[in-house]
Each structure stands twice: as structure tokens, then as C-alpha cells.
Chains A and B, each alone.
Chain A
Amino acid sequence: MEPIRSQYEDDPDMMEIVLEFAAELPERANEIERVLAAGDFDQLKTLAHQLKGAGGGYGFPRITEVAGELEHSLKDGVRGDPIKGHCAALCAVLRAVVAGKGD
């Protein structure tokens, strides 16, 4: 996957908190995998909901989009492979985010 950068990484008001938010994302991905493996779908829905709400605000509309799909499916009662698929897609996006400015 192409590296993902924040739309706001050059915004002086945002730079600092964007970096902080981005640096946390790999750990969010690990958490999603743990919670999925444990079958805790309520917690999984909360994680998806929070990422959906925050992602776009930090300049990552793709996170909002993919996390929204996961949340939506969970709310609809979808379980099993489709959920695993959504989680894998979300984790891939989270891990593709470039936290620093240099590359």
C-alpha cells in the first residue's frame, strides 16, 4: 500500500498533534487484532467508532472511511470472515500512515 500522509502535516496548528496521533496508530492496529482474536465485538465497535470520528479530523479521511465500514458491519450484526476482512483493511491503512515528515 502507498504510504499515507496527513492532509494537515504542514498546518502549524496541527503538526504536533498529527504526529502524536499518527505515532499511536500502529498500536491501535495491534489492539484491533487482539480484540478481534478475543471476539470482543463491542470493544471492536468502540475502536472503529473512535477511529472513524478522529481520522478525518487529523487529515486521514481513508481511516474514517475504512473504520466506518467496519463499524457499520458490526452494527448490522455481521460476524466472521467479512469482519476479519474489514479489520485487515483497517489495520493495513493504520500501518501505512507515515508518522514523520521525512522519508
Chain B
Amino acid sequence: MNPEIPNTNRVLVIDDSEPIHKLIEARLRPEGLEVSSEFDGERGVERAIAEQPDLILLDIDLPDVDGFEVCRQLKDHPDTRDIPVIFLTGTTSTDSKVKGLDLGAVDYVTKPFDQVELRARVRAALRTKRLQDLLEHQSFLDGLTGLWNRAYLDQRIESELNIARRYGRPVSLILLDIDHFKRINDGHGHLFGDIVLQGTAECLPVYARRSDIVTRYGGEEFAILLADTSLRAAAYVAERLRTAIEGRNFEAHGETVVVTASFGVACTLNLSSELTRETILNAADQALYASKDAGRNCTHVMTENGIISVASFNGRSGGRPSED
């Protein structure tokens, strides 16, 4: 998946009154906003976690828990903390407005609301959300290659591991390191080194799958996070990437430079240690170093029984003893 600028147009309305939902929808649809509805606090929180709306309009008087409590839950949850909340309040009391704002709401609208005011307040909140998203987006991009950076990878590994634990699904990680990068830099200059990094970065998303998360992990090292992917499938993707890099020639001052990379692959289902970000990163890193030790431009995988080359891993799957 390539980094794309996020949209901000989804509004979740949590209110117990059907006419209010219809009214808000009628007022916000012409603004190009997608509006979804929940009628009680508990479901509202669940929906917000699942759908990650860009703005929540929250009624204070709800049938189950009151809106203040819902706001507190939204602000306590890591996945909904940064979603702006506007309170819909039937009361004009200063106390409840202050309470809502103190709980982290960005604004409030008093019912019955004036449509022009409602739209203006929603637009203002979404504008801020959009800037906030853009800043976050920028902070997760690698300046040189335009790929996601390490901070983004770290965050995504955590969330993918949570899903993996909950549903028992595999998550794989590929680490790759450009071979003899220092020699390339020293021999052809840093500008050429940058071109190699950019060229490699361009090539990776093309040969990875659409859902794979391709990141520059640091220096000349790249990492690819593969959700819902077995070790076998990840090893296949790694080999495809390795061949693609090997086949891509770089020109330096009329000279053709062949660039290769070494690969390490690990999968959550094949780890003997506890499932954490560190253990899967370490496993892939150790496999990568085995590739370096084995002469570079090759792939090793971490299995339950230790590190083996991709050739013997594939051989093992065919039921034949390994030959290398």
C-alpha cells in the first residue's frame, strides 16, 4: 500500500432520536459528507472504533450511558482518541458545555440547531482534523523515498499483531538490506547512493502486493509488513522482490551498476518466542544476517527450528530433504 493523502468526510452521529439523525443527514449530505448513525452510547463507541470516522456528533442525553461518559470512553481509547467530538446539547447551561469541552470535545451545538451554524461548526472541526491527519501523515513518510517510515511501521506492526493474536491469523515481516551499500556510496558518490535507494523504493511496491506495507526502515534497510500472510507466501514475495532488484540496473557515469539485496523473512505462526514487535523484528533481522553470511543476494526464513535458506524451505515443503 502506497501512502495516500487521507480523506476527511465521514461523520458519525450518536443520538437517540431518529428525527435528529434525519435532520443532520439532510443538512450534511449536501456538504459531501458521509453520515452514519448510532442510537446509544455503547454501540456508538464500538462503531467509532471499527469505522474511524473523521468527526463524531454526540448527544449528551443518551438512553444507556450519558454523552459525557461516551466522550470519556472515546478519549481513553487509543483508536478514537484523536477523532474530534462535537457535543449536541439540548441544554444551554454553561456547566454542561464546560464539562464537555473539558472532556476533550472540540465544540458543542445547542439543539435545536441552526443549520448554517451546524454546517459551519462541522466544517471547522473537519478542517482541523484534516490538518491533523496531514501532519500525522507527513510524520510517517520517509523524505527521500516517499515510502512509509519506521515510526509508521512500528505502529502498524502493533496493530497487525493485535489482530493476529485476536483472530489467530498470520502476520509476516520481510526485512531487506541493500548489499555493499557503503561500497556503492564510496565508489559512485552519495547522490548515486540516493538514486539506488529511490530506485529500490520505487521497485518494491510494484513487486509487493497491494495490501503489503512497504517501509524504509532506516539507512539502506527496508521492511515489508504482510498482513494475513503465511511464511511460505511471504518467502515467495521476498524472492520476487529480490529478483526484481537484481534485475534492475543503475547507471553511474555511463557505467552499469548491479544492485542486489539480502532478505530475511519471519512469520508470527513460526516464532518460538512470545509474539511482540521486537521478537518478529529480531527474527527477520537474524534471517537477514544469515543471508548476508551466506554470500548476500539471497533469502533466509526463520522457522520454528531455526533459520534456513528459502531454497531448503521450499524443498522441505515438497517433502524432499534439503539439498543445500
Contact = CB atoms under 8 A, between A and B. Distances in A.
Question: Is chain B a partner of chain A in the same complex?
Answer: yes
A56 B26 contact: no
A53 B26 contact: no
A57 interface: yes
Interface in A39-82: 49-50, 52-58, 61, 64
A72 to B, nearest CB: 10
Interface centre among A13, A50, A55, A57 (most CB of B within 10 A): A57
Nearest to A54: B19
Contacts of B88: 53
B121 to A, nearest CB: 14
Q: At the interface, is chain A mostly helix, strand, loop or mixed?
A: helix
Contacts of A49: 61, 90
Contact of B23 (A52, A57, A61, A64): A57
Interface residues of A, number: 17
B17 A56 contact: no
B22 A20 contact: yes
B26 A13 contact: yes
Contacts of B90: 49, 52-53
Interface string A11-34: 001101100110000000000000
B23 A58 contact: yes
B26 A54 contact: no
25 contacts: A13-B29, A13-B30, A14-B26, A16-B26, A21-B19, A49-B61, A49-B90, A50-B16, A50-B17, A50-B19, A52-B90, A53-B17, A53-B88, A54-B17, A54-B19, A54-B23, A55-B112, A56-B111, A56-B113, A57-B23, A57-B111, A57-B112, A57-B113, A58-B19, A61-B112
8 interchain residue pairs of minimum CB distance = A56-B112, A53-B111, A54-B19, A57-B112, A57-B23, A17-B22, A53-B90, A50-B17
